[in-house]
Structure 1
Amino acid sequence: MNVSVFRATCGVILALAMLSLAPPSVAQRTAPAPAAQMPAVTQPAIQAPAAPAAQEPAPAVAQPAPAPSASESAASLTNSGSRPLKAEAAALRELSPWSMFLSADILVKAVMIGLAFASLLTWTIFIAKMIELAVARRKLRTALGKISDSRSLAEAQFALGAKRGVLSSFLAAAMREARLSAGISSDTGIKERAASSFAEIMRAEARRIRLGMGLLATIGATSPFVGLFGTVWGIMNSFIGISKAQTTNLAVVAPGIAEALLATAIGLVAAIPAVIIYNHFARVTKTYLELVSRASGAAGRLLSRDLDRTHVSSGTHSRAAE
């Protein structure tokens, strides 16, 4: 029995030696089929439960996405490009005149404050002169109506009473000249001297009523240039900021230019009303000075009547004495 076991053992060893020395193809052909197919049978059995979970996302990955149309791609490009533009537009809409003033350069701020003060001064002069001219015209027309039926300087002064005005000044000047020229027989000299006094009163009244119009003319003529100076200075600072930032982005460029242009806008706001108000007051003042000239003529006529009346009374007395 030991011999048979020994023989079987030697046969197995010899067979294994021959299999190890044979080529791979021969070893694969001669290998027992059940041992070679064991992994193939056992591997699917082990991986079977995990197969559905691994294959679930496969359809989404395997199915190719539909190609976008030309309109959809153009719309996506437009939307992606318009987003920064909308953000910049929103940033620009936040710019208000007050915020631009606060962020402006100190010199541009000084220009804006000066122009705003000039505009305020223009409207102040407008309101004050409108009230002054309206009151002066009403008073002078009323005074002329009161002395329209007067026959002498004394009656005219009595009709006016103690009210002060340009017509009262004319009457006072005429009576003073008549009193100072008493005993002088030349009526022409008295009238000339009275007319000279009237001219002085008219010039003084014209200077008084035109007070402030020179300032209006100055504001209207210089405000645009002052605003332009602020704009030029602001644009210079904007270009310097652009060069430092090394960008031409609209969000960087626009605020500085807007601040600079605000100075020109304020200059025009100050200049345009000043020019219009000056031209209006030039017409209104001319009308009032014509009314003053009528008052001067009325005072001159009353003086002439008094002089003629004096000569008539003196001639009557001389004939009565004879």
Structure 2
Amino acid sequence: MTDLAPIAFSPWEMFLNAGPVVRCVMTLLVVASVLTWTILIAKSVELQRVRVRLTKAEQALEQASTLELGAAGTRQSSIAHTLVMAAETERKRSADIPDDREGLKERIVLHLERLEAAEGRRLMRGTGVLATIGATSPFIGLFGTVWGIMTSFTGIAASKATSLAVVAPGIAEALLATALGLVAAIPAVVIYNHLARQTAMCRAQVADITALVMRLVSRDLGRMQALSASGQVVRLGAAQNAHTVAGE
């Protein structure tokens, strides 16, 4: 009685024995899985740095009493400094409009809302790839499985052999594509949801910073109105005394 050589069913052996189409599908899914974990590492580092900078910017704006001091304290955070400078720029452009306190605040809010939305889109950059991988990988793997089983049945019909030992290897190789599709899709969905939550936290911090900037703007406008009422000419962040002359 002769001993039959054992059939290798390791993933690598099945990959090598698969047809060219199934092999391309498996390669694509492996690349997608590697890309998923790469995005996780890169975005986690990026979001961690953003959270640290936003926290420092929040503390600086909480301690600042004027918009000018807020600009000086947020130089380490790009988005926070951008928001402060946007408010300052709008104030300068509206300097020739008298008695326009509410209009100025409205224009600053509109500008800050646009910057806040742009920052939210920037923070979400790259996560769309994860959503695509999570949605399409199972179907790509299923396509590889269907193609592999079709090829196996075609080979069985050509060889006229119906033994399970002949059918099993081809079906196992085809099913490996579905397994790889799930291996790529499940982490992609989990990682996408994780990064979406982290991004939402950063966007909430940006919204808080926007509110703090508007508080400084309102505070400076209040000072300007009070000093103007007392006969002083002022600018936001810095007051210049100009005593009025009686009778003129």
Name the TM-score, length of structure 2 as normaliser: 0.90
Q: Is the counterpart of residue 102 in structure 1 residue 16 in structure 2?
A: yes
Aligned counterparts of 2:80 and 2:192: Cα–Cα separation in 1 = 26
Q: Is the counterpart of residue 295 in structure 1 residue 196 in structure 2?
A: no
CA RMSD in angstroms comes to: 1.7
Q: Is the counterpart of residue 264 in structure 1 residue 155 in structure 2?
A: no
- For 1:169, the equivalent position in structure 2 comes to 82
What's the offset of the Cα at 1:320?
Answer: 4.6
SS of equivalent residue, structure 1 residue 91: coil
Q: Is the counterpart of residue 91 in structure 1 residue 39 in structure 2?
A: no
What's the offset of the Cα at 1:201?
Answer: 0.8
SS of equivalent residue, structure 1 residue 151: coil
Q: Is the counterpart of residue 233 in structure 1 residue 115 in structure 2?
A: no
Q: Which has the larger radius of gyration?
A: 1
Aligned counterparts of 1:270 and 1:231: Cα–Cα separation in 2 = 15
C-alpha distance after superposition, 1:6-31 (max 9, x if no partner): xxxxxxxxxxxxxxxxxxxxxxxxxx
What's the offset of the Cα at 1:155?
Answer: 1.1
C-alpha distance after superposition, 1:247-290 (max 9, x if no partner): 12222111100110010011000000000011111211111111
- For 1:252, the equivalent position in structure 2 comes to 166
- For 1:178, the equivalent position in structure 2 comes to 91
Contact persistence 2:57–2:77 (CA under 8 A): no
What's the offset of the Cα at 1:186?
Answer: 1.4
- For 2:237, the equivalent position in structure 1 comes to none
Count of residues in correspondence between the two structures: 235
> After alignment, is 103-112 or 229-238 more displaced?
103-112
Q: Is the counterpart of residue 141 in structure 1 residue 59 in structure 2?
A: no
SS of equivalent residue, structure 1 residue 317: coil
Aligned counterparts of 2:173 and 2:211: Cα–Cα separation in 1 = 58
Contact persistence 1:153–1:306 (CA under 8 A): yes
C-alpha distance after superposition, 1:221-257 (max 9, x if no partner): 0000000000000000000111112112222111100
Contact persistence 1:140–1:165 (CA under 8 A): no
> After alignment, is 115-124 or 278-287 more displaced?
278-287
Q: Which amino acid aligns with 2:92?
A: R
Q: Can you give the 5+ residue segments of structure 1 that lack an aligned partner in the other structure? A: 1-79
SS of equivalent residue, structure 1 residue 244: helix
Q: Is the counterpart of residue 316 in structure 1 residue 212 in structure 2?
A: no
% same residue: 47
Aligned counterparts of 1:241 and 1:256: Cα–Cα separation in 2 = 9
Aligned counterparts of 1:130 and 1:91: Cα–Cα separation in 2 = 45
Q: Which amino acid aligns with 1:284?
A: Q
Aligned counterparts of 2:61 and 2:103: Cα–Cα separation in 1 = 25
C-alpha distance after superposition, 1:111-136 (max 9, x if no partner): 11111111111111111111111110
Q: Which amino acid aligns with 2:6?
A: A
Name the TM-score, length of structure 1 as normaliser: 0.70
Structure 1 residue runs of 4 or more that deviate by more than 3 Å after TM superposition? 318-322
What's the offset of the Cα at 1:308?
Answer: 1.3
Q: Can you give the 5+ residue segments of structure 2 that lack an aligned partner in the other structure? A: 233-242
Q: Which has the higher helix share?
A: 1
Contact persistence 2:53–2:76 (CA under 8 A): no
Q: Which has the higher contact order (CA 8 A, sep 6+)?
A: 2
SS of equivalent residue, structure 1 residue 148: helix
What's the offset of the Cα at 1:164?
Answer: 4.1
Q: Is the counterpart of residue 217 in structure 1 residue 131 in structure 2?
A: yes
